[in-house]
Amino acid sequence: MKTLALLVAMFISNFFIQAQEEIKGITITVTVPNVTSSEGEILFGLYDENTFMKAAPLKGEKSSIQDGAATISFKNVPEGVFAISCFHDKNGNNRMDFEENGMPKESYGVSNNNMSYGPPMWNDAKFEVGSEDLELEIRM
């Protein structure tokens, strides 16, 4: 009887372990290749349509700057549609600084590298996450 209970417990625990492995998403690796200064850090945010330019990111990462570039990875990202934004936080205050007229003081970029006048737009920055890892490059 104990053997049967042990086998059932092992089967159930194996089921949960496999289910957790299936929940894991993909990895998005993002590189900013053209950082003009080694001051501060590059801050990255991963957004969905509901949070883009409106709320805190779903996931956030920071990277130091080495040899004019910064690289991070967002891990366990589920399938869906997302956008990434980043900015060069030169003064280390963990927020993007603006001039009095609303223009950014710090360099920034978004996924797909569409840098038109005005704030970034969801339709220009969005990309689809499928079943394979992604590597993106964002220019500032």
Query: Mean pLDDT of successive 10-residue segments in the chain (140 residues)?
Result: 38 43 80 95 98 96 97 98 97 95 94 89 97 97
Q: CA-to-CA distance for 6 and 8, rounded, in angstroms? A: 5
For residue 30, the model assigns a pLDDT of 98
**Strand, helix or coil at 29?**
strand
**Strand, helix or coil at 69?**
strand
Which has the closest alpha carbon to 30: 58, 63, 56? 63
For residues 57-87, one letter each, b for 16 or more C-beta atoms within 10 angstroms of the residue's C-beta and e for the rest, the string is: bbbebebebeeeebbbebeebeeeebbbbbb
- Pick among 1.10.3470, 2.60.40, 3.40.50, 2.20.25: CATH of 26-137: 2.60.40
For residue 23, the model assigns a pLDDT of 56
For residue 16, the model assigns a pLDDT of 41
Domain segments of the chain as ranges? 26-137
